[in-house]
Amino acid sequence: MDLQVQFGKRVRELRLAKGLSQEALALKAEVDRTYMTSVENGKRNVAIQNIGKIIAALDISIQDFFNSEIFTIK
Amino acid sequence: MDLQVQFGKRVRELRLAKGLSQEALALKAEVDRTYMTSVENGKRNVAIQNIGKIIAALDISIQDFFNSEIFTIK
DNA sequence: TAAGTCAACGGACTATGAGTCACATCTGGA
DNA sequence: TCCAGATGTGACTCATAGTCCGTTGACTTA
């Protein structure tokens, strides 16, 4: 599985856990709603600045964000 | 401190720990030699695919890469 | 001196990510 | 069945990610 796909899955997982809509999260992260959609669906090769914005909007540390079995090598 | 700067510091730290030159790491990660220089110096807004390539070239898991005090929020 | 390795930088170029839009589709509730 | 909020998609512009050529300076070893 592609890292950008794993990233999207992790974002979606954490967003849903917080009960937020894509639009609400996008607003908080200061990105476009449709951009957030394509990120979650693994369609975008997101750059690190936006990765930082999105993780911050999820109220989680970088460490905790990536410390998930989603990112385990297979 | 910017996430792309933190990323560069972490890459350099791990590269030096392995005794590799920038060129050797760049070759292994299949990115350009001059690109690796600017990444380490925090000049590049690296996209997640290249983040994955570089971390893989460092022979470390995603989890371990980001589980560093370098990425602690200040 | 010379010759080698390495890090950093720059110019010019191509590929692609960022950011946005109109529109379509899905979903649950009234 | 209808509606409204939520999600998905294709296409587009423009900035920049990323490559490829070369040079320079610091350091080391012969």
Domain boundaries, chain B: 3-66
Task: Per residue of chain A (74 residues), give pLDDT as tens.
Answer: 799 999 999 999 999 999 999 999 999 999 999 999 999 999 999 999 999 999 999 999 999 999 999 998 65
pLDDT > 90? residue B20: yes
Mean pLDDT of B25-31: 97
- Any A CB within 8 A of B41 CB: no
Distance A71 CA to D22 C1' (A): 40
Query: Span A3-65: which CATH code?
Result: 1.10.260.40
- Any A CB within 8 A of B67 CB: yes
Q: What is the dihedral of CA B49, B54, B55, B56, to 10 degrees?
A: 90
DSSP state of B71: G
Q: Is the CB of B32 under 7 A from strand D?
A: yes
Regarding the domain delimited by B3-66, which CATH topology (the fold level of the hierarchy) does it fall under? Answer: 434 Repressor (Amino-terminal Domain) (1.10.260)
Q: Is the CB of B56 under 7 A from strand D?
A: no
Q: How many CB atoms lie within 10 A of CB A17?
A: 10
Q: Is the CB of A61 under 7 A from strand D?
A: no
Residue type, B35: Y
CB contact under 8 A, B3 and A45: no
